[in-house]
């Protein structure tokens, strides 16, 4: 029998949520897979398996989902160190480098990741890739001012670019009011060098390459659940 992707996401989420201990400050990632983790947390709070935890949401939508599911929230101002963050990813390579930002929350997700003692990524096996960029464009968040000036820069780096749109084909805006440029580089020969190039460009707020931030990846597939790293 074929296992649905939705079911795989749930299995990965449950394995990661097993790491949460009472009293922890937990980073709550964005996206459909991370939502499975928030659902698991809410269920365990409701039945008493978990207690005394607070969550730091990575987006306004995550905050709304967490509150709906009974997860008490806090902020990085109140808790600048997070014990454990559970988040999803769009693509994962063997070095535990990942592409994130499919949901548009990459800036806050990276801030939360940097504040976390452990960053646990949960994915279904379809998100694994030998080289980042093989199956997913890289989201880059830019301020609206002068955004078109980046197009030649990205072209010189070998990318084709599209401006992300939302409902009614209107440009998507992040929680910070910025734009997302989805940059298709193809399979990346050197994600570290690309990240450095992007970080040196004025007007780029953040990019979706998470390098050196991931503690472990929980993968769910047809053959079961396994861990990469740790």
How far apart, in Å, are the Cα atoms of 34 and each of 31, 75, 184, 189, 191? Answer: 5, 18, 24, 28, 24
Q: Is the pLDDT of residue 25 over 80?
A: yes
Q: Could you tell me what percent of the chain has a pLDDT over 70?
A: 99
* Average pLDDT rounded to a whole number, residues 26-55: 97
pLDDT (average), residues 156-181: 95
Residue 55 has pLDDT above 70, yes or no: yes
Mean predicted confidence (pLDDT) in 197-224:
97
In residues, how long is the chain?
230
172-193 pLDDT, tens digit each: 999 999 999 999 999 999 999 9
Residue 129 main-chain phi, psi, to 5 deg = -150, 145
Q: How far is CA 186 from CA 132, 160, 176, 201, in A?
A: 8, 9, 28, 21
- For residue 3, pLDDT beyond 80: no
Q: What is the DSSP letter of 171?
A: B
Candidates 91, 109, 119, 206; catalytic one: 109
Across the range 53-77, mean pLDDT stands at 98
The sign one gets for the Cα dihedral 132, 133, 136, 142 is positive
- 43 has catalytic annotation: no
Q: Cite the DSSP H helix spans in the chain.
A: 5-17, 32-46, 60-68, 106-114, 150-156, 191-199
Average pLDDT over residues 191-203: 97
CB neighbour list of residue 117: distance below 8 Å, 6 or more residues apart = 81, 82, 83, 84
pLDDT (tens digit per residue) in 115-150? 999 999 999 999 999 999 999 999 999 999 999 999
- Predicted confidence at residue 1, as pLDDT, reads 43
What would the pLDDT profile of 9-24 be if each residue is shown by its tens digit? 999 999 999 999 999 9
Q: What is the mean pLDDT of the chain?
A: 96
Query: What predicted TM-score, i.e. pTM, was given to this entire model?
Result: 0.95
Does residue 2 register a pLDDT over 80?
no
- Across 100-124, average pLDDT: 97
Domains, the chain: 5-128+211-228 (3.40.50.1360), 138-205 (3.30.70.260)
């Amino acid at each position: 029998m074929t296992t649905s992707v939705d079911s795989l996401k749930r299995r990965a989420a449950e394995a990661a949520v097993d790491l949460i201990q009472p009293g922890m400050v937990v980073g709550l990632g964005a996206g459909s897979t991370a939502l499975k983790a928030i659902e698991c947390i809410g269920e365990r709070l409701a039945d008493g398996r978990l207690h005394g935890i607070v969550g730091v949401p990575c987006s306004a939508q995550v905050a709304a989902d967490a509150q709906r599911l009974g997860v008490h929230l806090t902020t990085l101002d109140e808790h600048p160190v997070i014990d454990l963050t559970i988040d999803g990813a769009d693509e994962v390579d063997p070095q535990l480098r990942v592409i994130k930002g499919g949901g548009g929350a990459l800036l806050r997700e990276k801030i939360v990741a940097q504040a976390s003692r452990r960053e646990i990524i949960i994915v279904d096996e379809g998100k694994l890739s030998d080289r980042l960029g093989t199956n997913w464009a890289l989201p880059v968040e830019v301020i609206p001012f002068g955004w078109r000036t980046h197009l030649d820069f990205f072209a010189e780096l070998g990318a084709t670019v599209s401006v992300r749109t939302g409902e009614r084909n209107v440009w998507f805006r992040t929680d910070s009011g910025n734009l997302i440029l989805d940059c298709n580089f193809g399979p990346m020969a050197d994600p570290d060098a690309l990240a450095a190039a992007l970080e040196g460009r004025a007007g780029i707020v953040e990019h979706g390459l998470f390098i050196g931030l991931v503690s472990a990846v929980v993968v769910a597939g047809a053959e079961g659940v396994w861990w990469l790293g740790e």
